[in-house]
Structure 1
Amino acid sequence: MAVLAVSTVVTVAPADAATAAPGPDLAVDVLADRQPISEDIYGMNFASEELAAELRLPVQRWGGNSTTRYNFRFDNTNRASDWYFENIDEATPDPAALPDGSVTDLTHERNVRTGSKSLFTVPLIGWVPKARGKACGFSVAKYGPQQSTDSWAPDCGNGVRPDGTNVTGNDPHDTSVEAGAQYVEDWIHHLTGKYGTAAGGGVRYYDLDNEPDLWQHTHRDVHPQGAGAVELRDRTYDIGAAVKAADPSAKTMGPVGWGYMSLLHSGLGDADRPNHGGVDFGEWYLAQMRAYEQQHGVRILDYYDNHIYPQQSGVSSSDAGDAGTQALRLRSTRQLWDPTYVDESWINDKIRFIPRMKDMVARNYPGTKTAITEYSWGAFDSVNGALAQADVLGIFGREGLDLATLWTAPSAGQPVADAFRMYRDYDGRGGRFGDTRIRATSTDQDKVSIYGAERATDGATTLMVVNKTGGDLTSPVAMSGRGAGTAQVYRYSGADPTGIVHEADQAVSATGFTATLPAGSITLYVIPKDDTPTLPAPGAPTASDLTATGVTLSWPAVTGAADYTVERDGSPAGRTATTTLAVTGLKPDTAYTFTVRANNAAGTSSPPSPALTVRTKPDQSGTGCTAAVTVTGKWPGQFQLDLTVRNRGTTSGTGWTASLGLAGGMSVAQTWNGVTTTTGTTATVRNASWNGALAPGAFATAGMILNGDPAGWTPTPTCSLT
């Protein structure tokens, strides 16, 4: 499929607005919900150098099942269950020069040429190939006849006997040799010795293995049992620490689970739940990583990383499928974010994958970023697949995901590549979607989704609109926070699936425009920075009446201003016709940054004022400390409770104790991040060894599993500090 070059961009008439059906209402507020969009969400696995260079691909991942067992010294991998558990040599240019010139060396050198950050996989499994040359995990000569063998290497079987049972008791040393932290350090020292550290242009990211909760299937020749929570924690401690010892500037990602169930379970499933506190595995895992940093002073996990493949029938297939499958593919992107969407597969649950991961991080290891290093909505060869991919990329940016890499990369001529071009190279000259999210909403995202961003390089407003229906639609787009302009329009659709088309310009007023969207289309509106003379930025605001929960801001008047918008940390905090605004609802002992914009009568806003950062006062409403509990999960016979203890005083504490009364029939089954004793109907929780010190305003959290039912229970916990 041809790639549309700049020299061949043409202008064509848009869909006929007179015959288009009414579409959902769309709204954009340039000043609201402003947050950075991470460039790293536009990554891929194994993209060609041609496509990576064209898209200026930000991240290239070298991952997958085969990379779990890779030996950089011999430049070979074990292909695991993907191909008869065989050791297979890479096409090394000069084997005598190894480890120089390995596939990972060449991959990083190619990524340097395309400006892509390298993401490599390091082994946690404890095994790598033992030597260069072919070896089989399940030799027919050694282990007997098997259901299937490699037609090119007939002694290599699939590890399944003719009667359908798995071969067991095989020797892992048939293919592999033990490899732990020292192996990882040696490999990274090789990489940093040639290419520098991550901070100096070397390999930026390391995945801590690949889908370890499936090792008992994919790598059962060396790891026949599922990996439990404690094993995964301990291996992560060992290998994560090795990565940081070899290159402290590198970033790590884990546990790199296979899908939604990886957030809930280890490789041992429900049977392992008592070993991870009775809570979802992701909650426990993140808390364990936080505990390591607090105990050792080193963060060994930078990104909470899990894969996701839609489980709905046919959605992730390479084929587009019938009309029902195509509609399901477009609908199923809601599992990434929508709290009301019940996954239409065997999962049958409200997944809300990205917010769920971010919530887990916020509760258990704040500051950890989120990543999805494998995903695919399939149908790379179809416009339907391109629509889904464009929707997914928009969701990644809106929901604040930090990194994502598509499995695997499309070819340069496939429609899914054009979905990426709409964000990374819509005009053939490197034109990109914006890098600061702005509010953009649709009243029916199943029909039309819209994503908005502002571009830092030129201040342009960029709007990506996806019509997922089979008919032309006309939707009103209400705009606020900017003035009138003329938008350039770029579109990819089934009307011309050979490439992106530069459509006729779209007039945009200060209040918006009407968008006519062809059936099954991706449309990008690029609205240049408003060059209409604007009001000058207000002078720097000042603060008064500062309390624990509020502050009053004042600023100099701007001639011609109809009113002013106060922004808090980049988002609107209030609007007033005066030059003073009382901002309330703030958190105690928290830093906030405020700016002010002047608005004229047409609704055009000025540049922001100089920023003012203030810190609210500590909450003195109580003395010593306060404690609060929240029920965060419930299942038959048990429920999960989060306990938060906060220092409300003005001096630091070295330890804390909290007590809460239990209702009849309740008892404590499990506690983490604290130690519990029970006397009668009172449970007393004391800090763990690492979370007792609380500065003024600081807090600590502990989790508990209680036997019983919380219905009708209204606990009033108390606490004290030492």
Structure 2
Amino acid sequence: MNTTVATKPISPDIYGMNFADEALAQELRLPLRRWGGNATTRYNYLNDTSNRASDWYFENIAGTADPATLPAGSDVNAFVDQDKRTGTKSLLTVPLIGWVPKSRAGDCGFSVAKYGPQQQTDQWRPDCGNGVKPDGTNITGNDPRDTSVAAGADYVGDWVTYLKGRYGSLYYNLDNEPDIWHATHRDVHPDGASYDELRDRTIDIAGAVKAADANAKTLGPAGWGWNSLTMSGKDQQTCSIQGGSCWSNPPDRNAHGGTDFGAWYLQQLKAYDDAHGTRLLDYYDNHWYPQGTGVAFGNANDPATNALRLRSTRNLWDPTYVDESWINTQTQLIPRMKALVSANYPGTKTAITEYNWGALDSVNGALAQADVLGIFGREGLDLATLWSPPTSQQPGAYAFRMFLNFDGRGARVGSQSVRATSSDQDKLAIYATRDATGPLKLVIINKTNENLSSSVGFTGGASALSAQVYRYSAANPTAIVRGADLPVAVAPVCVGCTPYSSMSGIWPANSISTVVLGNADGTPPTSPGPPTVTNINPHGFTVTWGPATDNYGVAGYLVQLGKQGMGTIATVNVTSGLTHTFDDLEPGAGYTVAVAAYDAAGNTSNYIAHGIIYFLPTAGPPTSAPPPTCVVTYKILAQWPGGFQAEVTVRNAGQSSYTGWSVDWTFANGQQVTQLWNGTVSQAGAAVKVRNVAWNGQLAPGGSRTFGFLGSWTGTNAAPTPTCAGS
């Protein structure tokens, strides 16, 4: 890594999503959210109805608004309202196709009654077919007015005027994947969109957007993928039918001087700008789904596909990587798009408003997603929105957290990219960032199934002697864990040479590490609550204490045991829970206890002692309640705005086996259990009871069982004090 090389900005808009839910958008402070997809090509804001095209039987489907309130209360308004609440920019889709639904009545493009039997029909609306005859041929010659009314520049201008008056300036996609309208929207646009048609419609509709709101941002042509860069929809349709040499010599391209569609499109919009002094296109936008079998939207069940998923992120940037799909050539997408812009319409930004590397419900997918985000920043992409987003608890969401909220308190990577290279990007990828002031922040991704020991070198030196580490990995796929600080070795100062520093670490298998080079965490946790001692018996007692707090999180507690006349005789490390039982002590002897908290950086609070010597009885019944035969610990593993994950462990501290067990606690602040595994739960108000399930009720002496759950919270989320019982 070279800290002397000038940095370049990272656009925050590369961390966008399509249709992210509000809780995740709020937590991540999501910069931008897109309302897009096939259903948005034909949406009528006046009746809040969209046509789902080939996605669902070419049907008009009404939104959730009260028709009497329209256009207020529409699904689009609700979308932008959410974004206003979370401070997120909205990217909406306006139609270039020329049609929008005529009513909320549920009309469909290929009525069985009108056009005859079809291969498939909607089970809930059996008159709506898929437009394919029983013999496998498409129905042609249908009437677009079965579902739609014409909608051109006036319609779009009125809608943007309405939205600007209500919300201010927004971002607008100039339709969605127009080069495959002939497939997705063939009920109203059966012929592939040509070079000239898309230019003319873009000038017409983008002109209406800019006339209604000069500060609006426009993105186009939003093609579906690789072929969209070089071919019109007309050529794609023609060559799909003709095959063979058509793909290398398409007729619509030939009619336009042999110029690839993307270059020609940008040239035409620049010519308009030059002639009229008006920029109609702000972002050159193209969608990108990896074409390797099983990658995009796929699962993580196949090791070969998982490996391909991680390799194929190189098609975004690497000039040496030959795409491992039917594309079978070097794509180098982001540099290619930037070169197209530079050569044909300088000043236009670049965007990828749909992409998905798949398996977002797995750590493999999270690794690929993190790699993609790092590449977007390093390569200078200006805007990106993931289709479709993970849920808050899926690993894919943690990939975004490692860039946008890695400490759980809103910490983000830097706004500028610093030059960083890996000796083997396919194994250990590294991305370096910083803000205008402040520390270097690195994202290091181990894509392998093995722990990798590797050093990071800083040409130009590092300004800190240590680094803070935040880690998400397959070892703990439900939380980001604060690791121990790493030391940074600084080379001796030399005259006439470039300073050099290095940091060595072990990067765990299948992990994402966000590393902050800053001064070591020197702030110790607060002291824990005073310990109390109960269950005194001839052989020991139980110590319980209150929780401590720390700026980065408490890692555990140290419990000191002292013996009269001997001082401290043992220190026990407790990493889970707020209690410990000493059960092998000398009858009749006197003991003391003290407790301290520590964090991941090794900072330790002051010890808090009870201040009393406890003399154990020599024999007979205990002087207080007998020691518990069932011990339970409750641990919060992860917490985010409105939600948390906890783990509870039940231990049999008695002498007899359990055939069943139960745990009870009372929440203090209205928390609710929303999902629980390895047990059955009932909650009445604040009171919670969890019982074993059939397979984990047996518990031998000294054995333990663990269950976990997801919960919701508002206000504060203090850990309760549970009790357990065995039977």
Calculate the TM-score normalised by the size of structure 1: 0.68
Superposed CA deviations along residues 474-516 of structure 1, whole A, max 9, x for unmatched, are: 1121113333322110111100001111111111123111121
Equivalence map 1:70-469=2 (5 Å): 70-92=43-65, 94-196=66-168, 198=169, 203=170, 205-269=171-235, 270-456=250-436, 459-469=438-448
The code of the aligned residue for 2:510 comes to G
Matches within 5 A, 1:479-490: 479-481=458-460, 482-490=462-470
State the match for 2:38 in structure 1. Answer: 65
Distance 2:15 2:165 in 1: 29
CA contact 1:182–1:242 (8 Å) conserved in 2: yes
For residues 633-712 of structure 1, what are the structure 2 equivalents within 5 Å?
Answer: none
- Residue among 45, 49, 71 paired with 2:18: 45
Q: Which whole-Å CA distance do the structure 1 matches of 2:206 and 2:485 have between them?
A: 52
Q: How big is each residue's C-alpha offset from its partner over 1:115-146, in whole Å with a ceiling of 9 and x where there is no partner? A: 10000000000000011220010000000000
1:477 aligned partner, one-letter code: V
Cα separation, 2, equivalents of 1:95 and 1:501:
49
Decide whether the 8 Å contact of 1:318 with 1:381 is kept in 2: no
Partners of 1:276 and 1:218 lie apart in 2 by: 26
Conservation of the 8 A alpha-carbon contact between 1:211 and 1:257: yes
SS in 1 for 2:190: coil
- In structure 2, the residue matched to 1:22 is none
SS at match of 1:256: strand
SS in 2 for 1:190: helix
- Is the 2:463–2:518 contact (alpha carbons within 8 Å) kept by the matching residues of 1? no
The residue correspondences of 1:513-552 to structure 2 (distance < 5 A) are 513-528=503-518
Could you tell me how far 1:195 is from its partner in structure 2? 1.8
Q: Which amino acid aligns with 2:515?
A: Y
- Give the structure, 1 or 2, with the largest relative contact order (CA under 8 Å, sep 6 or more): 1
The offset of 1:234, in angstroms, is 0.4
Distance 1:530 1:368, change over 3 A: farther
Q: Which letter maps to 1:527? A: L
1:231-269 CA-partner distances (Å, limit 9, x unpaired): 000000000100000000011000000001110111022
1:349 alignment partner, SS class: coil
Give the 3-state SS of the residue equivalent to 1:239 in structure 2: helix
% identity of equivalent residues = 63
Check whether the contact 2:466–2:519 (CA below 8 A) recurs between aligned residues.
no
Deviation at 1:31, TM superposition (A): 2.6
Cα distance in 2, alignment partners of residues 323 and 464 from structure 1: 24
Cα distance in 1 for residues equivalent to 2:519 and 2:154: 53
Which residue among 491, 505, 522 is the counterpart of 2:485? 505
The 3-state SS of whatever aligns with 1:497 is: strand
Q: Contact 2:467/2:519 (CA < 8 Å) preserved in 1? A: no
SS in structure 2 at match of 1:136:
coil
Deviation track 1:182-231 (CA, whole Å, cap 9, x = no partner) reads 000010111112122x1xxxx2x100000000000000000001001110
Q: Which amino acid aligns with 1:250?
A: A
Gaps of 5+ in 1: 1-27, 532-722
Give the Å deviation of 1:357.
Answer: 0.2
| TM superposition outliers: structure 1 runs of 4+ over 3 Å | none
Equivalent residues of 1:484, 1:509 under 8 A apart: no
Unaligned segments of structure 2, at least 5 residues: 236-249, 491-500, 522-727
Is contact 2:439-2:463 (8 Å) kept? no
Q: Is the 8 A contact 2:48 2:62 kept in 1?
A: yes
Structure 1 contact 229–275 (Cα < 8 Å) conserved? no
Aligned-partner residue type, residue 8 of structure 2 = Q
1:387 Cα deviation (Å)?
Answer: 0.2
One-letter code aligned to 1:194: R
Which structure is larger by alpha-carbon Rg, 1 or 2? 2
**Aligned residue among 452, 461, 472 for 2:451:** 472
Distance 1:83 1:271 in 2: 32
Aligned-pair CA distance for 1:343? 0.4
Is 1:29 aligned with 2:26? no
- Asked if the contact 1:277/1:284 (under 8 Å) is kept, the reply is no
Amino acid at match of 1:486: S
TM-score w.r.t. the length of structure 2 is 0.67
In structure 2, do the counterparts of structure 1 residues 156 and 444 end up closer, same or farther at CA, with 3 Å as the change threshold?
Answer: same
How far apart in 2 are the matches of 1:397 and 1:503? Answer: 25
Deviations 1:610-650 (A, max 9, x none): xxxxxxxxxxxxxxxxxxxxxxxxxxxxxxxxxxxxxxxxx
- How many residue pairs match? The answer is 496
Q: How far, CA to CA, are the matches of 1:307 and 1:33 in structure 2?
A: 30
CA distance in 2, matches of 1:431, 1:192: 32
Contact 2:485 2:520 in 1 (8 A): no
Distance in 2, matches of 1:301 and 1:281, equals 16
Matched residues in 2 for 1:300 and 1:95: separation? 33
Q: Distance in 1 between matches of 2:256 and 2:447?
A: 42
Give the CA deviation at 1:399. 0.2
Q: Is the 8 A contact 1:483 1:530 kept in 2?
A: no
Find the counterpart in structure 2 of residue 701 from structure 1. none
CA displacement at 1:47 relative to structure 2: 0.3
Structure 1's 504 and 252: CA in aligned 2 closer, same or farther, altered over 3 A? same
Separation of aligned partners in 1, 2:316 and 2:301: 21
